[in-house]
Amino acid sequence: MYKKLLMILLLIFISANQSFGCVGRILTIGSVDTPVGRVMTETLALLITERTGTTVHTKYFSNMNDLYTSIRTEEVGILVENSSSALKMLGLPEIKDHEKAYLQAKEKYRKNMDLIWLKPFHFLYANSSDQKSATATVLSLSVMTDFPGLLRLLNKLSKKVDEKEYSELLKLANSGKKPTNIAKDFLEAKKLI
């Protein structure tokens, strides 16, 4: 009887842990080393760690080519990207309509690179003064497969940052405040952690 009860409890424990699908595993989020890149990367890292117990490493790169090389070699599994930059990376012409640019980037990344775009944030990220487009979290297909719960969790950030909030976050990042502290304050204010 004791053994049977122990087996039932063990099965319950195992299935409960499997439902989270992330605990005890390691993820790496990459970004080009810019103030907004650091803030958004730290926001994703903290959200994942706090809500799933997954260990998350962050890695910053001096340019987009190095970041995408690390994605191809599966050193990095998650990044934050904007559709304007993505289309440029794919060698496609710029699309002025932000929604169309997002949909085009989403389709091409999935088809050509096995990268999945999640729902966009509610702000436009400028790479330069004349280049703005929708920004979203992008996951590798292997991360989506290995961490099935991440899609729902990370999509909670969709439409959480408007232009005004984005400007505030950027101002804080440029003022020298630590990106981890900015991310924590933001996620707490949005009641996500």
Length of the chain: 193
- Could you read off the pLDDT of 104-146 as tens digits, one per residue? 999 999 999 999 999 988 666 544 444 458 889 999 999 999 8
Asked if residue 158 has pLDDT above 70, the reply is: yes
- CA-CA distances (angstroms) from residue 92 to 69, 95, 189? 19, 9, 38
Within its chain, how far is the Cα of 106 from the centroid?
14
* 165: pLDDT strictly greater than 60: yes
- Asked whether residue 10 carries a pLDDT value surpassing 60, the answer given is no
pLDDT in tens, 45-73: 999 999 998 999 999 999 999 999 999 99
Edge-to-edge, what's the strand order for the sheet holding 115-128?
A: 55-61, 26-32, 78-82, 131-140, 115-128
What the block records as the tokens of 86 is 């993505």
Kindly list the structural domains of the chain, giving each domain's residue range(s) and its CATH number in brackets, ordered by start. 27-189 (3.40.190.10)
The structure's pTM equals 0.80
